[in-house]
Structures are given as C-alpha cells and as structure tokens.
Amino acid sequence: MSIAFFFPGQGSQSLNMMSGFNDIEVVRQTFDQASTALNQDFWALMNGDDAAALNETINTQPLMLAAGVAVWRVYQQLHGLMPAFVAGHSLGEYTALVAAGSLDFIDAIKLVRLRAELMQNAVPQGEGAMAAILGLDDQSVRQVCAQSEQELSGSVAEAVNFNSPGQIVIAGNTEAINRACELAKAAGAKRALPLPVSVPSHCRLMKPAAEQLAHALTQVTIKTPQIKVIHNVDVLAHSDAQSIKTALVQQLYSPVRWTETVEKLIAEGISEFAECGPGKVLTGLCKRIDKSTDCTALTSLDSVENFVATHPAK
C-alpha cells in the first residue's frame, strides 16, 4: 500500500486550530522553535482571540507551516507508514519540503515570513484581490479573465488556483477581478465570491516578489528530498536543489495546479491520502476531484492514532 500526504496553505487557519493536539510535547516544541526563530509567540497568537492578526499574511504563513510540521512530527513519533509522495497547496509546499527532509524547519520558517512580506509589499493595500469562481470549467474562467484584462487595459486578472473541477480562484488588480466576477456570473458561474485576502497570490503581479525570493533562496540549503514532493508549478517531483528553488520562485507568480496534482498521484497508484495540518480543505478538494479516493484529515491526536493503526510503518 502506498499513501500520500497533503499539507494545507493559507485559508485553513483558525483560532485554536491545534486544540486537538494540546499537551503534546513535540507540538509545543515545534511552535517554540518557530516562535524563537521569529521572536513572536505563535502559540499565544493561535490560541488568542485576535482573528484579524491570525489572518495577516505575515503571521498566517509561518503559523500554518509550524502547524503542519507539528502534526507531521506527531505522525513520525507514532511510527506511521511513510508516504510515497507529499504535496502542499501553495504555502503548504514549503511544509512538504520540510517533511521530505529537503528544507530545514528553521530555514523554512524564516523563508515563509520573508515570502509573506515580499508578497504583501508587491502590491499596495487595496489594489489586489482574489475571488473564487464556482461552477465554470477551467477554460471559461481563463476566458473571462482575458476579457476583463482586455476591457481594463493594463490590469491583471488570472486564474491562479485550479483547486478542483468547477472551483477555481482568480487573482489580480481589484478592479479587474471585480469585472471578471461579473463576467463569470454572466457566463453561468454559480457563484463568484471575493476572498478576504489583501495579496493577489500566484499571478504576475507577484513577479517582483519572486525576484527577491530567488535572491533569498541562494542563501538557503536545499537537500535531495527523502520523499518525492510534487510541486505546484509543474506537477513534477524534483531531486536537485536548483530545480526545487526554481519551482519555489515560479510558484509565487504561477497557478497552483492542485487538480492535476491529485490526478497525478492517483495515476501513480495512490488511492489513500492524509491531510497533515489544520482544517479539512484539501480533504474536501480531493473528494471533489475523484470520489473514489480516501482522504483523512489529521486534525487531532485521535485522528493521527487511528490513521497510524491502519497504516503502520513497514
């Protein structure tokens, strides 16, 4: 039996999101390491009552990385079966690389904080937006984005997250995204929902940030992954450091090809998946992509123990 692990990104965070792992030493140790590295108490932030601070990109990215790694470490301590593949959605790709032994955890924490700052600074507040388009096929969404760009010369509107069939996220300049939403509804979309984010991720507005990220990555050690990591940008696994760094840079301004990622893993013979981190977003997407798949969200110690019981290390 072969399994794959998914690591969630932004959008899966919530207050008290690690309550299913309270009093687990390795979880607290992981958060302590992240807090020390960035001189910020992430455990207190996560378990406080300030949802706005939790949802700030510069806090969410290191917080989600720490949470995903903490759950992964719990799974390792319980001697669960090692996955044949790992993949992460956007930010989750960094968590996947840590789990695969390719990227040091502390390096990753510092890197995603920098990534968040670069993304936030790339587009002035209020000038970027994202929206979820539900009920249109991929090509139709691309077409409404192209039409919006044509009508608003110089603006950006791109399909950036292909999350599952009929669920696609678009990003770009606020005016262009608003227009694309109108066009999507006119084209038959069931819904076009603005997302509560200030950074238009994965579109070409992020290219300046990507250039700065590329420079930062020259100072970071990347090792050959011990588990195959499927990257967002090209739906491929890379083994050499430069190819992995290139994939991380391109990821910042390129679409997250999540539907293709799940389809590739199924083609590789994987039918059982685990979502390693807070929330159940990727578990839901997996089922939408292929109803025959079995995906378990590891959101508590009990869920991890139950998964390990049926998937013990060989």
Residues belonging to the active site: 90, 202
CA angle 107, 110, 112 (to 5 degrees): 105
**Sign of torsion, CA 240 246 249 253?**
negative
- Alpha helices by DSSP H, 218-273: 241-251, 258-267
Report the C-alpha gap between 3 and 15 in whole angstroms.
Answer: 29
Strand order in the sheet with 191-194: 157-164, 167-173, 128-134, 191-194
- Alpha helices by DSSP H, the chain: 25-38, 42-46, 51-54, 57-77, 92-99, 105-122, 138-151, 174-186, 207-217, 241-251, 258-267, 281-289, 301-310
